[in-house]
Chains A and B, each alone.
Chain A
Amino acid sequence: MAANDVTTEVDGHVLSLSNLDKVLYPSGFTKGEVIDYHARIAPAYLTHLRGRALTFRRYPNGTESQGFFEKRCPGHRPDWVAVALGPGDRKGGIEYCCVEDRATLVWAGNMAALEIHAPMALAVDLDTPRAVVFDFDPGPDTDIGDCSQIALEVRDILAAVDLEGCCKTSGSKGLQLYVPVNTPGLTHDHAAQFALACGQVLEKRLPKRVTTTMAKAARPGKVFIDWSQNAFHKTTIAPYSLRARSEPTVSTPVSWDEVEACADGDVELRFLAGEVVERVAEHGDLFEPVATLEQLLPG
């Protein structure tokens, strides 16, 4: 064991942490701080991770280096880390890591699994998404303010069919709106078609500002509503996940008030790890309805 390794016990699980002082972000944020964030944010983060076949994006050499996606849960995982079969490759199902407890989040942090990407479905029922996701991706000359304006438009469409949704920043440039469903019977196809239909309404209404076509996503001035994120094999950055950027930004749940303020250009929705811990301490988990609220999609 290297000299700067430390053996610790998290909720009854012994695990060894290595290279805590290693700087993973150009801003100076270290692996110790990543683990610290994971340990502190765990109560809220876990709500949205539990029961899912998760994809890790690991950056053992920091966010300026090439990270790698890890779908298959590493063979050297501790035996208390749960795994679940998820969408596979040609050879069949893949055993993904599940993050069921704080110790596993700490372990993931120690592996520099900065980003955790989650499918919309739980591992026990891969065919049933728990929510519909609208991924607002800002094209050239647009930013999260434009995304917020479009998200508010989508909120109005949802309200017309008695649906509620919650927004979170992507932690990168965009914004995501989740519509909780949490009822049996929803398919990935239905979820995707619903998101596409909502997007197309807006595309028709605001042709200069919205596109639902991937090929037009790069056109200046447009927000791309990526409805295809609802596909069976797709994952979306999990709420409260760190992002691998120059600073430890987090995919942060935000209130509709904040989305409105951002749409008006009053605030920029961009939160770093430490701030997100404080937000949760103050406001609780703004994304909680996504895990609990039961709604039915029309059609």
Chain B
Amino acid sequence: MPRPVWSGTISFGLVAIPVKLFNATSKKSVSFNQLDERTMSRIRYRKVSDDSGDEVPDEHIIKGFEVSKGRYVVVDPDELEPFIPAATRSVDLEEFVDLGEIDPVYFDNAYYVAPDANPKPYVLLARAMEEAGKVAIARFVMRNKQHTAAIRAQDGKLMMSTLAYADEVVDPGSIDELAGLEDVDVSAKEVKMAESLVASLTDHFAPEKYHDDYRDQVLDLIAKKAAGEDFELPEATTEKPKIVDLMAALEASVEAAKTARGRHPTGREKAAKAKKSA
């Protein structure tokens, strides 16, 4: 069972709603250890001095901020202490906005918000927000960091996503490659073709359709190697969609279906087809 990553209260007017946060996603990348191929020994990092190459014990390691090349301002942990936001254990709802107003670039980590103890005020808040179709913007402190978050209600449950700060979002104007796009000439026909392709690929978002194929293949490779099996390296393929004629596209599939069925509703058509392809 997942463990809460934070607990506290949502403050909403005069109401305090005790809640716990759980991670809503868990990263699933494959991680490798580094080894010495000669001995299979694990590789370890050591903190060494850039000057001497000697290992530096922890008690001599301090924090410095590089203000210009080679110039550091040294900051003592005690000096930072007053700035660390008080761990108030409170999620303060600041305002309610429409979800669509929040650009996805702001969304950071997702959490489930679960009631701690009496679920009634939680359920009330979730229902009210779902009914209003609004998202709450909240501020809270987690792991010594002040976060802004969006809390939304979905199917009677509350979900929270921490949000990036506005000045953390990179200004697209700082990327040269993004400049001058509005001056590129495209014909109405090209646009129509592109729109038509987009329309043809338009579907409802079904996240379960998508998998990290790389991870699956790597894990498969590892499982086979662990079991002592040979593993044939598949050829790397790069596919580009090509547009094929409708009847040509269907022919193979239809033929395969008929073969699989072993007969066709009309024997005549099957016979005619067989002659044609022979």
Contacts and interface: CB of A to CB of B under 8 A. Distances in A.
B46 to A, nearest CB: 47
Contact of B196 (A1, A17, A36, A80): A80
Contacts of B256: 21
Majority secondary structure of chain A interface residues (helix, strand, loop or mixed): mixed
Contact of B245 (A8, A272, A273, A278): A8
A2 B209 contact: yes
A27 B197 CA distance: 33
A7 B250 contact: no
A28 to B, nearest CB: 4
Interface in A264-297: 272-275, 277-278
A15 B200 contact: yes
A78 B202 contact: yes
Given A1-B201, A21-B257, A27-B261, A7 B243 contact: yes
Nearest to B270: A274
A102 B242 CA distance: 21
Interface string A3-27: 1001111100111110011010001
A7 B241 contact: yes
B265 interface: yes
Contact of A79 (B195, B253, B258): B195
Majority secondary structure of chain B interface residues (helix, strand, loop or mixed): helix
A178 to B, nearest CB: 25
A32 B196 contact: no
A277 B269 CA distance: 10
A238 to B, nearest CB: 20
B243 A79 contact: no
B190 to A, nearest CB: 12
A21 B253 contact: yes
B265 A248 contact: yes
Contacts of B258: 33
Nearest to A5: B241
A274 B246 contact: no
B193 A39 contact: no
A10 B265 contact: no
Closest 5 CB pairs of A and B: A32-B253, A78-B199, A272-B265, A15-B200, A28-B261
29 contacts: A1-B241, A7-B242, A7-B243, A7-B244, A8-B244, A8-B249, A9-B245, A10-B246, A14-B193, A14-B197, A15-B200, A17-B249, A20-B253, A29-B261, A32-B253, A32-B257, A36-B247, A36-B250, A36-B254, A39-B246, A39-B247, A39-B250, A77-B199, A78-B199, A80-B196, A106-B246, A248-B265, A274-B266, A275-B266
